Each structure stands twice: as structure tokens, then as C-alpha cells.
């Protein structure tokens, strides 16, 4: 009996243990079911997010990546627009002196590099040749007058010959006329036995006279007359010779015997030599003011409209910096012929306001001309700006990690920044040097830790982390 009770007790304990195990098993199954449900929900959420990203970022549909970009923020600042180029340094005062007379140099009182003062004698000449010059020009004038008179006399002689020929021709015409009248009278007579012979004789006389008339007319017409154009040339030669003669007399009467400096400066070139014969058409000496300087710039057709008189400038020569101001803009361009054709450029002069001995004439220097300036405007780096084939200017701003294309209106530009008149606001973040991959709506990031293809990787890591936490 006791054994039976013991067996029964064991059976009850075993049954309770089985039931307990069943209950525990059901609890574990419940937990497992909850974990599976959570994983399914997470997967659905992830797929929804990924689907939205793929739809909104067509440029990255293949691998689902975010494009890493560099950016900068629009800011309110001042902007200066410069035309940067090179310039030749020249003197504002440069005078080339020519000999006052054709004469021998008897004294040179300066050399290259000397500083001279206004009124200082530079070169002296022997004046003895002036009378010879006057005499020579007088001869040339007289010869021109004689040459014209000779042409006039030729025409007078020719006209006299023509008149003589015309007199002879008129006399022959009268004889022919009389003979014709005589023939007509003979035709009216009744003397038949001699009439025909007489008419024949007179006809022969007429024929001979007509031959003579024809010969005289040919000789008359062959007479040469000096043309009006040659007579005009002779008149011009007289006028030219007269001008030269008057000029020589004026130089003789008024010319100085020396070259005198008209303004302070430095002798930069000397061409005359003591003892040599100088000519009024050949330069003798050149004087420049080496302190009053200007920079000569040539601009092309795209730059010309931006430069105007009064624009400020900075001239750089070595380590020295000088201030300048545009003082002259040529009214027309100059054409130069090159190997590939002709080019046109516009001359611009910049007065240097604080030149010194370190700035050398004929040296080339860098120059920045301030062509435009504005204050407190919205600006962006020029690397952000794009222009399409139709000339439309636009850029991309970053909004919610997306590239948003915006049309812009540009103002003035410097080498690094550009004024935005419309299209972008202060503090907006713009993409620098946007590649062709970036279009309106492209997902972008400026975080360098985000690499191409890492977005989905990070999402998977986040999902796995959540799954592991749920399991635990």
C-alpha cells in the first residue's frame, strides 16, 4: 500500500513536472513569437525608408549612395571686382628734341642719365649752314618757276603752229570752193569742144588741194600740248619750293643755335655726336621725367567696358606696391597683326600717384584695376556657380541633405567671390564645384565620415543592433 502511494506520488510529481515544462515551453514560444514580430516590423520600416530614399534620389538608384560634397555658406560681405593684368611703365612727360637747324654739332653739355632743369642748354649747333640752306631753297624755287614757264611756252608755241595750220587749211578750202564754182559755170556753157577738158583739169586741182588739206589737218592734230594735269603739277612744285624757301628763311631769322630743355627730367637717350652733321628730321636727344610715371595697359573687347576714367588701381613691382588711377581710355582700339591674324586692343593709361626711383621706365609690372565695388551684399564663392549653354546662372543649396537647384542673378564678381542679387539668401549652404552627378534632389552630405555606399551599411548596422538588443 505504501509502495503504491509512493508510486502514485512519483506519478503526480512527474505529471506536475511535465505540466510545468509545457507551461515554460509555451512561455518561451510566446517570447520567440514577439521577437519575430519585432524583427518583421523593423524590416518593414527599413524597407519603407529605403524605398523613399531611392525614389527621392534618382541619381543614386543603382547603389543608393549619398554624394559627399564640399560646401560653403552664403554671407553678407563687401566685394571688389578687379581687372588683373600687366602694364608697361612709362613717363607722363617724355620729350624727343630735334635739331633746330641742319648743322654741325659743336657742343653737347649732357650725357645719358643726367638730370636736367627747364631752360638748360643741351646741344649747340654751328649756324653757318643756314644761309646755304636758304640759297639752296631759293634755287629750287626758281627752278620750279622756270619749269612751269617752260611748259606754258611750249603750249604757246604749239598754239601758234595750230593757228598757222588752220590759216593754210582755210585758204585751201577757199580754193576748192572757187574751183567748184568754176566747174559749175562751165557746166552751164555751150562750148562743148573744150568744156570737158577744163572740168577734168579743175577736178584734178581740187583733188590735189584736198590731199594737201588732209595732210595739213593731220600735222595740226599731231601737235603736242602740255596737259592741264602737268601744269597743275608744276604749280604744286612751285608751291612746295616756296614753302621750303619761306621755312628756311624763317629758321635763319628765328632759329636758336641750340636745343634747350623745356621741362625738368632725365636724359634717357642721346643721338647726336660732336662734330657730326645733324638733320632737322632726326632725333637728337630724349628727356623723360622719371618720377611722374604712368602704367600703360591694353585690354581686350571683353574687358574694355569695365574700365573707366577715375578707377583706382594697384601697381606691383617686385616687393613694392604703388597706388594709381585711370587717367585715359582710348576712344578706339588698336589693331596688331600676329601669326594667327589680327587682334584689337584698347589702350588704357593709369597715372601712378606715388612713384619713386624703384619703379623703372619700360619695365613690366602687375596691375589690379578696381572696376567695381559694392558693400554689404550676399556673396558666394565663384566655385559654386554654374552656367548652362543658354547662359542661365544657377547653383545648388543644401536643404535636408538634398541638393536643391536655384536660379540666380549675378552682380559683380571678384576672383574668388560673386555677388548674388537674387536667388540665394544669407547663411544658405551652397555646394562648391558641383559635379555632373548632382542634380535637383540628389542626396548629399558634407560629413567626410559618410562615404559612398555607407548609407545602407549604416542602416543595416542600426537594424542589426536593434535586433540584437531585442534578442537579449
Q: Catalogue all structural domains in the chain, each as residue range(s) with its CATH number.
A: 67-79+376-450 (2.40.420.20), 83-90+290-373 (2.40.30.170), 97-289 (1.10.287)
Whole-Å CA distances, 79 to 82, 120, 139, 172, 417: 10, 51, 73, 103, 7
Confidence (pLDDT) at 37: 57
| Average pLDDT estimate for 161-176 | 94
Q: For 124-143, what is each residue's pLDDT tens digit?
A: 988 777 778 888 999 999 99
Confidence (pLDDT) at 10: 47
Q: Does the structure show a pLDDT above 90 at 438?
A: yes
Any idea which of 42-56, 102-116, 323-337, 344-358 has the lowest mean pLDDT?
42-56
| Average pLDDT estimate for 372-393 | 94
Instruction: Considering only residues 44 and 332, tell me which one the structure prediction assigns the higher pLDDT.
Output: 332
Confidence (pLDDT) at 462: 42
Mean pLDDT, the chain, integer:
83
Going by C-beta distance under 8 Å and a sequence separation of 6 or more, which residues neighbour residue 268? 112, 286, 287, 288, 290, 361
Q: How many C-beta atoms lie closer than 10 Å to residue 65's C-beta?
A: 20
Joined together, the cell numbers standing for residue 235 give 604749280
Q: Does the structure show a pLDDT above 80 at 59?
A: no
**pLDDT tier, 424 (very low <50, low <70, confident <90, very high otherwise):** very high
| Average pLDDT estimate for 74-91 | 93
Q: Give residue for cell 549675378.
A: 410
Q: Does the structure show a pLDDT above 70 at 33?
A: no
**pLDDT tier, 46 (very low <50, low <70, confident <90, very high otherwise):** low
Residues 250, 134: Cα–Cα separation, whole Å: 9
Any idea which of 71-85, 219-233, 435-449, 454-468 has the lowest mean pLDDT?
454-468
Confidence (pLDDT) at 40: 62
3 state SS of 429:
strand
Any idea which of 67-71, 349-353, 400-404, 454-458 has the lowest mean pLDDT?
454-458
Q: For 243-264, what is each residue's pLDDT tens digit?
A: 999 988 887 777 668 899 999 9
Q: Give residue for cell 595740226.
A: 220
Joined together, the cell numbers standing for residue 194 give 573744150
pTM of the model: 0.50
Joined together, the cell numbers standing for residue 338 give 600676329
Residues 387, 394: Cα–Cα separation, whole Å: 6
Residues 365, 341: Cα–Cα separation, whole Å: 27
| Average pLDDT estimate for 431-453 | 81
Confidence (pLDDT) at 101: 80
Whole-Å CA distances, 5 to 2, 10, 96, 223: 5, 9, 145, 179
Q: Does the structure show a pLDDT above 90 at 199?
A: no
Amino acid at each position: 500500500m505504501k509502495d503504491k502511494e509512493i508510486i502514485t506520488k512519483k506519478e503526480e510529481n512527474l505529471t506536475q513536472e511535465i505540466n510545468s515544462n509545457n507551461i515554460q515551453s509555451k512561455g518561451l514560444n510566446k517570447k520567440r513569437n514577439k521577437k519575430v514580430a519585432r524583427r518583421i516590423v523593423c524590416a518593414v520600416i527599413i524597407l519603407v525608408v529605403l524605398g523613399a530614399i531611392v525614389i527621392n534620389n534618382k541619381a543614386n538608384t543603382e547603389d543608393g549612395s549619398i554624394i559627399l560634397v564640399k560646401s560653403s555658406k552664403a554671407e553678407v560681405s563687401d566685394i571688389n571686382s578687379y581687372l588683373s593684368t600687366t602694364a608697361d611703365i612709362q613717363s607722363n612727360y617724355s620729350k624727343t628734341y630735334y635739331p633746330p637747324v641742319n648743322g654741325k654739332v659743336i657742343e653737347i653739355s649732357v650725357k645719358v642719365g643726367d638730370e636736367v632743369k627747364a631752360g638748360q642748354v643741351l646741344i649747340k649747333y654751328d649756324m653757318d649752314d643756314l644761309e646755304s640752306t636758304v640759297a639752296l631753297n631759293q634755287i629750287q624755287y626758281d627752278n620750279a618757276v622756270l619749269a612751269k614757264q617752260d611748259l606754258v611756252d611750249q603750249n604757246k608755241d604749239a598754239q601758234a603752229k595750230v593757228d598757222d595750220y588752220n590759216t593754210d587749211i582755210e585758204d585751201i578750202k577757199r580754193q576748192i570752193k572757187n574751183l567748184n564754182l568754176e566747174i559749175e559755170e562751165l557746166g552751164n556753157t555751150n562750148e562743148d569742144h573744150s568744156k570737158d577738158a577744163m572740168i577734168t583739169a579743175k577736178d584734178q586741182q581740187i583733188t590735189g588741194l584736198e590731199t594737201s588739206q588732209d595732210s595739213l589737218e593731220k600735222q595740226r592734230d599731231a601737235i603736242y600740248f602740255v596737259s592741264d594735269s602737268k601744269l597743275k603739277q608744276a604749280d604744286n612744285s612751285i608751291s612746295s619750293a616756296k614753302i621750303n624757301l619761306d621755312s628756311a628763311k624763317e629758321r635763319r631769322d628765328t632759329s636758336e643755335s641750340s636745343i634747350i630743355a623745356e621741362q625738368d627730367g632725365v636724359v634717357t637717350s642721346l643721338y647726336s655726336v660732336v662734330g657730326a652733321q645733324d638733320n632737322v628730321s632726326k632725333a637728337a636727344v630724349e628727356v623723360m621725367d622719371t618720377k611722374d610715371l604712368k602704367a600703360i595697359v591694353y585690354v581686350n573687347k571683353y574687358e574694355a567696358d569695365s574700365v573707366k576714367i577715375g578707377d583706382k588701381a594697384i601697381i606691383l613691382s617686385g616687393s613694392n606696391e604703388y597706388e594709381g588711377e585711370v587717367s585715359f581710355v582710348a576712344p578706339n582700339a588698336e589693331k596688331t597683326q600676329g601669326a594667327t591674324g589680327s587682334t584689337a586692343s584698347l589702350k588704357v593709361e593709369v597715372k601712378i600717384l606715388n612713384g619713386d626711383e624703384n619703379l623703372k621706365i619700360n619695365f613690366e609690372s602687375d596691375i589690379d584695376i578696381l572696376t567695381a565695388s559694392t558693400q554689404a551684399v550676399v556673396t558666394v564663392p565663384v566655385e559654386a556657380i554654374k552656367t548652362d549653354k543658354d547662359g542661365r546662372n544657377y547653383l545648388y543649396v543644401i536643404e535636408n541633405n538634398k541638393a536643391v537647384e536655384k536660379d540666380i542673378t549675378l552682380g559683380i564678381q571678384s576672383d574668388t567671390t560673386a555677388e548674388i542679387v537674387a536667388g540665394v539668401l544669407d547663411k544658405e549652404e551652397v555646394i562648391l564645384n558641383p559635379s555632373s552627378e548632382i542634380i535637383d534632389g540628389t542626396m548629399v552630405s558634407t560629413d567626410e565620415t559618410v562615404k559612398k555606399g555607407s548609407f545602407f551599411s549604416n542602416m543595416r548596422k542600426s537594424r542589426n543592433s536593434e535586433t540584437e538588443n531585442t534578442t537579449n
